[in-house]
Structure 1
Amino acid sequence: MKQFRSIQSFLFLALITSFVCCKSNTNSTDENPENTPAQQAPNVSELFSQMDSNNDGKLAKSEVEGPLLEDFSKIDTNNDGFLATEELEKGPKPEGRGPRENNSNSKNNVQKDFDVTINVDPTLFIKESLLQEITQEEHTLSNGTKALCYIITTASQPHEHKMGPWCPTHIEDGKDKGGIWFKDDKVYDVDGHFIANLKEFYSDEEWALFREDGSVKVTKTQEECEGAAKPDVEEEYHNYCVECLPEYYREKQSTYYIPVKPLYLENSNSLGRDGIGVAFNGVNFEAPAPTHAILAAHTLAPLDDAGGHVNPHAGYHYHAVTGSTKEVKQKDTHAVMIGYAMDGFGIYAHKDADGKVSTDLDDCNGHYDEVRGYHYHAGSAGSNQVLGCLHGASGSMSVKG
């Protein structure tokens, strides 16, 4: 039976392993951990905050490494598939676990070659979405290697569909006045009836997004949007429906460095806070929305029918794939292609032409076939997860403006 150390040591080792996996081109500063004073070790809350890459207030398997991953089921006492801070604090106390080899650094996280590897096709991007011609440049990838990458600069504005609406203005409004929301892998229309029944929907009497006259409390200005559209919602915007308008951030530009030829790595990388991929219209796919923190403030941040909404950091972006963007049909019955991940592997729709879902996907939502090579499938629209992680050496994405 495994013996255990203190939970702080346990978490510190997991955190370092995770950081090396995601940022293998960064040199370690902990060359002699035995000489580090015990009182300098970060506490559980601090470590949790650093590992929670998508800021949703909980840790998925894709966000942890090493001992935390090995003992995930032991710590996950409520069996919901996530780790909360309370579960970490009450988790098993490690004692006497010896040093373990780090298998996720750039030296050991080796490339795996497939018979078929498909290069990125820049002609698939909608020209009207590009702010400049796609070019190539050598760029350092997430595993520290240098590779030729496409530079794709967009305004993150869709051309195939309109953006919004998100929040209805009255509890009598129909579904055409609002967007969508998700729970337990299901999608719901955010109409007036949905807003009026949030107490029953979440079994929580503190929900009150509408006033006595039936009007819905909606953020109306950029200032209000920025106070509400973040995990630590400002108190004055608790019990609000968050609607950030695209015109607030019209000047934003997104630049993607995506490797021309994707490089598959044996160990996957957890999703960071920047975009995880890009649709053919230049809009980025984001990591899961931080619903745990948002709902704790009794705040709702609906997606529009295309699966997107706006925040101050990224502008307009997608958290769900609903079939509203450009699709590239396949010659067989395979699911349509909808974009590229940041590692250059293709992203395809959740279901194929026959309405079937692939059953052999890995934790990143990826698998291999002899036509498309390794590639991903978007999660269902109600899952709040386009991808689970990335299995390739990633380029980078930045937003300015």
Structure 2
Amino acid sequence: MNYIKVLRFSQLCIITLLLVCCKPGTKSADENVSNQPQGQEQEQGPSVESLINEMDTNKDGKLSKSEVQGPLSNDFSKIDVNEDGFLSKEELDNAPRPQRREPRGNNTSNTSVQKDFEVTINVDPSLFIKESLLKEISKEERTLANGTKALCYVITTASQPQEHKMGPWCPTHINDGKDKGGIWFKDDKVYDVDGHFIANLKAFYSDEEWALFREDGSVKVTTTQEECEAAARPDVDEKYNNYCVECLPSYYKEKVSTYIIPVKPMYLESSNTLGRNGIGVAFNGVNFEAPAPTHAILAAHTLAPLDDAGGHVNPHQGYHYHAVTGNTKEVKQKDVHAPMIGYAMDGFGIYGHKDNSGKEYSDLDDCGGHYDDVRGYHYHAGDAGSNQVLGCLHGVSGSLTVKG
């Protein structure tokens, strides 16, 4: 059970960092963050049953890749010995013990060490598209994910883009062109999900079990909210194996997203693992999500394409992005630098993948960020085919809540 103890410690750190609710306070955002331990390893780790209960969001008694975090996510394929895309109680019981990190002096939480840059750019609320806002953006003192009090912007949106249409995602016949479907990714490349793509999935994945179309050439597509929810969950309903998943925005049109983002971002020496609560927001109020959990659905021979803007719909977030394709509002820079497309949850700006000359950035850290004297520390979105907008966050995160 030593593996579970370490997982428990990592899980507590992540939960503390990403899910603490914001509340009124008095400390200025300019104050340095103190070293605050975010959890202590217990002598007796939790049972496998309690770990599953905490992380099993759909309550099916097992854990998918999208439900786990920390070391458990990193070693998912090693623990998933039967390669079914899920971690069972037996597999967790038999999980190997991970290599433990050596302590760094007396600092129990290096993520709380703040670093000040010569240039730090505050969030500019005027960049958001007004039509996407449900309320006027307000400025309030809140508590960030690590317990630090700071002045924050409260941004409430309907998560509906104003500058592009949503969809389509799935073609309806194998003779359909690319205008009838969205996009998919594999090995850092983007592919049009047209009828030909659907018809050739066996060769694309070197797997004879793919069969998303019928004898008459019609594609098997989810057509109701009930079908969408049965096919879009990590443990795909067996009835919808070999389906193209199309969840329509109209199913979840009442979704309201509220972002709490610090006015002045605070850079941390150590990066923070992405959670399942959004990683940033585009200027149209739609959230950027962590990588799509493709392993589970592909194991069921199910496809959940993105639209040409890099977004799709699920029951939890409504419409959201997993890729940046250049379809959303961009703020051009005065130099050759890539345009700005939104903000991360820590308040640092997110910019396009390539600069205006088509050149990729070669000096990015694991999160996709770097520093310059004009923009301070900021991020660059991953390539559209990478299934990763950002790799992690290097600042103190605010929070996102989605209701409706």
TM-score, normalisation: structure 1: 0.84
Q: What one-letter code is carried by the residue in structure 2 that aligns with 1:388?
A: G
Corresponding position of 1:167:
170
**SS in structure 2 at match of 1:20:** helix
| SS of structure 2 residue aligned to 1:23 | helix
Q: CA deviation at 1:360?
A: 1.1
Match of 2:42? 33
SS at match of 2:384: coil
- 2:70 corresponds to which letter in structure 1? V
Closer/same/farther in 2, CA of residues 201 and 56 from structure 1, 3 Å limit:
farther
Percent of residue pairs identical:
69
Instruction: Note the aligned Cα RMSD (angstroms).
Output: 3.4
Aligned to 2:275: 272
Equivalent residue in structure 1 for 2:123, among 120, 125, 132: 120
Which has the higher mean CA deviation after the structures are superposed, 112-121 or 23-32?
23-32
Match of residue 3 from structure 2: 10
Task: From the superposition, tell whether residues 308 and 277 of structure 1 become closer, same or farther in structure 2 (CA, over 3 Å).
Answer: same
Instruction: Note closer, same or farther for the CA distance 1:165–1:103 as it changes in structure 2 (3 Å cut).
Output: farther
- Indicate the residue corresponding to 2:70 in structure 1: 64
- Judged with a 3 Å threshold, the aligned counterparts in structure 2 of structure 1 residues 155 and 30 are, in CA distance, closer, same or farther, namely closer
In structure 2, the CA distance between the partners of 1:105 and 1:160, relative to structure 1 (3 Å rule), is farther
Report the counterpart of residue 16 of structure 2 in structure 1. 23
Matched residues in 1 for 2:278 and 2:396: separation? 14
Indicate the residue corresponding to 1:256 in structure 2. 259
Alignment-mate amino acid for residue 149 of structure 1: C
Given the superposition, is the C-alpha separation of residues 271 and 50 from structure 1 closer, same or farther in structure 2, using an over 3 Å criterion? farther
Post-superposition Cα deviations, 1:3-50, rounded to whole Å, max 9, x if no partner, equal xxxxx313422440353255156999986833x2x7x53289949967
Contact kept in structure 1, 2:111 and 2:272, CA below 8 Å: no
Which residue in 2 is equivalent to 1:324? Answer: 327
Q: Distance in 1 between matches of 2:64 and 2:356?
A: 33
Partner of 1:211: 214
Taking structure 1 as reference, are residues 108 and 194 closer, same or farther at Cα in structure 2, changes over 3 Å only? closer
Corresponding position of 2:363: 360
Q: Is the 8 A contact 1:20 1:104 kept in 2?
A: no
TM-fit CA distance, 1:266: 1.2
Moved more, 182-191 or 136-145: 136-145
Question: Counterpart in 1 of 2:396?
Answer: 393
8 A contact 2:37–2:109 mirrored in 1: no
Runs of at least 5 residues in structure 2 that lack an aligned partner in the other structure: 22-35, 58-62, 80-84
Equivalent residues of 1:148, 1:259 under 8 A apart: yes
- Residues 97-246 of structure 1 mapped to structure 2, 5 A cutoff: 100=103, 109-246=112-249
Q: Is 1:345 the equivalent of 2:381?
A: no
Q: Which runs of 5+ in 1 are unaligned?
A: 1-7, 78-82
| 133-142 or 162-171: bigger deviation | 133-142
**Using the alignment, how far apart are the partners of 1:278 and 1:205 within structure 2?**
39
Encode CA deviations 1:166-187: one digit per residue, 9 max, x unaligned: 0000001000000000000000
- After TM superposition, give the deviation of residue 392 of structure 1 in Å: 0.6
Q: Is the 8 A contact 2:9 2:39 kept in 1?
A: no
